[in-house]
Amino acid sequence: MPSGVKGMSVFMDHRPIGVFDSGLGGLTAVRSLRRILPEEDLIYFGDTSRVPYGGRSRETILKYARQDVRFLRSFDLKAILIACGTVSTTSLPVLQAENDLPIVGVVEPTCRRAVAVTKNKRVGMIATLASVRSGNYDQTLRTLDPEIQVFSKPCPLFVPLVENGRFRPGDSVIETVAREYLEPMRDTGIDTLILGCTHYPLLAEIIGAVMGPEVTLVSAGEESAFELKRLLKASELRADESRQGDAAYYVSDRVENFEEIASWFLQEDLHHEANQIDIDRY
Residues annotated as catalytic are: 84, 197
Is the dihedral angle over the CA atoms 19, 22, 23, 28 positive or is it negative?
negative
- Considering the rule CB under 6 A, would residue 198 count as an interface residue with ligand DGL? yes
Q: How far is the CB of 50 from ligand DGL (least distance, A)?
A: 8
- Considering the rule CB under 6 A, would residue 159 count as an interface residue with ligand DGL? yes
Q: Which amino acid is at 214?
A: E
Contacting ligand DGL within 126-155 (CB under 6 A): 128, 131
- Considering the rule CB under 6 A, would residue 52 count as an interface residue with ligand DGL? yes
- Considering the rule CB under 6 A, would residue 21 count as an interface residue with ligand DGL? yes
End-to-end CA distance of the chain: 24
Q: Which amino acid is at 67?
A: Q
Stretch that binds ligand DGL, among 65-73, 180-188, 196-204, 210-218 (CB under 6 A): 196-204
- Measured from the CB atom, is 81 or 239 closer to ligand DGL? 81
Contacting ligand DGL within 226-245 (CB under 6 A): none
- Cα separation of 106 and 87, whole Å? 9
Q: How far is the CB of 241 from ligand DGL (least distance, A)?
A: 29
Number of residues counted as binding ligand DGL (CB under 6 A):
18
Q: How far is the CB of 127 from ligand DGL (least distance, A)?
A: 6
CA within 13 Å, CB half, 247? 25
Contacting ligand DGL within 87-116 (CB under 6 A): none
- Given a contact cutoff of 8 angstroms between Cβ atoms, the answer to whether 217 and 207 are in contact is yes
- Given a contact cutoff of 8 angstroms between Cβ atoms, the answer to whether 211 and 182 are in contact is yes
- Considering the rule CB under 6 A, would residue 25 count as an interface residue with ligand DGL? yes
- Measured from the CB atom, is 51 or 65 closer to ligand DGL? 51
- Measured from the CB atom, is 16 or 25 closer to ligand DGL? 25
Q: How far is the CB of 42 from ligand DGL (least distance, A)?
A: 17
Q: How far is the CB of 21 from ligand DGL (least distance, A)?
A: 5
| Contacting residues toward ligand DGL, per CB under 6 A | 21-23, 25-26, 51-54, 84-86, 128, 131, 159, 197-199
